Amino acid sequence: MVVGDASIDIDTLVVGAGPGGYVAAIRAAQLGQKVIIADKSELGGVCLNRGCIPSKALIAAAHSYESAKHADVFGVTAENVTVDFAKTQEFKNGVVNKMTQGVTGLLKGNKVEVFKGEIMFINDSEARAFNDHESLRYRFKHCILATGSRPIELKPFPFGGRILSSTEALNLQEIPGSLVVIGGGVIGAELGQMFSKFGTKVTIIEGTDAILPGLDKDMTRLVAKGMEKTGIEIVTNAMAEGAEQTDKSVTVKYSVNGESKEVTADYLLVTVGRRPNTDGDLGLDLANIELTDRGMVKVDHQGRSVSNPKVFAIGDIVPGLALAHKASYEGKVAAEAISGLPSVVDYKGMPAVVFSDPECASVGYTEKEAKEKGFKVKSGKFPFAANGRATSVNAPDGFIKIVANEENNVVLGAQIVGIEASNLIAELGLAVEMGATLEDISLTVHAHPTLGEIVMETAELVEGHPIHMVSR
């Protein structure tokens, strides 16, 4: 092992190379900082390697399989449609490799030095970087913490064997015959629906009264309907209590309204949230980093630690939703703040997306939230079924809802459930961010026939003069 006794002076140390860390490192380097980025695992973090990207690749494969089996509505019939899941996993791994290699090239192209190994703080401005081959000391002017999060492990359901986290579920080498999912949130809904489309018998056990508890009930009802089409059993208001596994199956015990029940499946997937990676051997106490009771770093409006102004924190280790694009956004703000720019975080236009079927997306305020903030609001929902493009691709389920300020028609928020919701939300995110009005949207000519027309039609509906819907 090569040991460096003297500290190496650098401008910025970035700890964690996920979508928050690598973006922060690139932006900092663009602004003239000498940057070292360190990660003990792969570049790209959980998102590119064990989360967002691999899951979306498998979800796309599941959609293709389902489409091939049910294309008869278009007059297309395919016989003996099969899945070579090893090849599906090969496709997924190829996507992951391509994306992570891209990150490697971007860091190199921006002259960001990469250290693969652990980081441990020595004091408020120095850290040791080490792996099996070398140990270095860095003295930094600033540091950006982007250590991310990991799946929460419940004591009655320890990961191992046939009890899986999302990481192991995404790497299964065979399609399970049956699967129990504890937690009907974003990850549970996405992966449960993906496996169901491949033919797995899926049971989702959710503690609240509906799946995707953070979304409007009008949205979750459509997702639940989509799940029922592929045979998913959804058990709500349920309390998971324990599991017993053999080398071939796992039996989950749970209760509903005090009545004990159990279900046996090939695997159990536990998706009850994620825990911030601030409780390891980072030495945050030596760096004078103050945490909340939930292990989040206390930061100001630029992501700067309130207890050590040299250190910034972004992503899953600061309050707010655990979203990759939120981490990237916060990373850019932190890098710019370090360079003296007046950048601050503003979550007003922060979108959230669920890659369920149909997809769900939201940005800004819901109608309820807007009213709680004191706005006098008006809103409207326009159905996908009234759109030519949605109907022609046989995806009529869903709607777009826009919430606006009644006093000046400024768009306050929007919710979408339906095909391509993940892409459609961008226009409405821009509207919320720039303070656009309903007229700004409705007077913008949208190409026909496209799904984007639904955004325009919804704005017209809220204004009171829809064309392709009878106003009531």
Annotated binding site: 56, 147-149, 183-190, 206, 273, 316
Binding site membership for NAD(+): which residues?
A: 183-190, 206, 273
Q: What is the SS3 assignment for 374?
A: coil
CA–CA separation, 264 and 129 (whole Å): 46
Q: Indicate the burial class of 268 (C-beta count within 10 angstroms; 0-12, 13-18, 19 or more).
A: buried
* Assigned token pair, 269: 């997937």
Residue whose C-alpha is closest to residue 452's, from 379, 396, 398, 400: 400
Q: What is the SS3 assignment for 25?
A: helix
Which own/partner pairs from 197-201 qualify as long-range (CB within 8 Å, at least 24 positions apart)? 197/62, 197/63, 197/65, 197/66, 197/230, 197/357, 198/62, 198/65, 198/83, 198/85, 199/83, 199/175, 200/175, 200/176, 201/177, 201/231, 201/265
Please list the residues that pair with 254 across neighbouring strands.
240, 261
Distance from the first to the final alpha carbon of the chain: 75
Judge whether 465 counts as a catalytic residue: no
Please list the residues that pair with 298 across neighbouring strands.
none
Residue whose C-alpha is closest to residue 270's, from 200, 178, 181, 170: 181
Binding site membership for FAD: which residues?
A: 56, 147-149, 316
3-state SS track over 411-431: EEEEEEECCCHHHHHHHHHHH
CA–CA separation, 189 and 63 (whole Å): 15
From 70, 142, 448, 468, active-site residue = 448
DSSP assignment of 166-213 equals HHHHTT-SS--SEEEEE--SHHHHHHHHHHHHTT-EEEEE-SSSSSST
The residue type at 306: V
**Contact call for residues 146 and 16 (beta carbons, < 8 A):** yes
H/E stretch holding 293: none
Q: What is the SS3 assignment for 71?
A: helix
Residue whose C-alpha is closest to residue 227's, from 394, 58, 356: 356
> Do the strands 118-123 and 126-130 form a parallel or antiparallel pair, or are they unpaired?
antiparallel
As annotated, the active-site residues are: 448
